[in-house]
Amino acid sequence: MGKWGRIFTREKWDCDGFTEQTQDFIKGVKDGKVEWGYTGKHTSGAKDDITLGDVKWLLGYLGRLTDHQIIMGLQASGATKSETQCFAKAIRNRIDQMKRLVAREQLSLRQSNSHL
Residues of the chain with pLDDT under 50: none
Q: Judging by beta carbons within 10 Å of its beta carbon (0-12, 13-18, 19+), is residue 75 exposed, middle or buried?
A: middle
pTM: 0.81
End-to-end CA distance of the chain: 45
C-alpha 92/C-alpha 102 separation (Å) is 16
Q: What is the pLDDT of residue 42?
A: 57
Q: Indicate the domain borders of the chain.
A: 15-114
Q: Nearest-CA neighbor of 11 among 19, 2, 23, 20?
A: 2
C-alpha 60/C-alpha 57 separation (Å) is 5
Residue at 15: amino acid letter: C
Cβ 89 vs Cβ 80: under 8 Å: no
Q: What is the pLDDT of residue 9?
A: 52
E-only strand ranges, 1-116: 26-30, 33-36
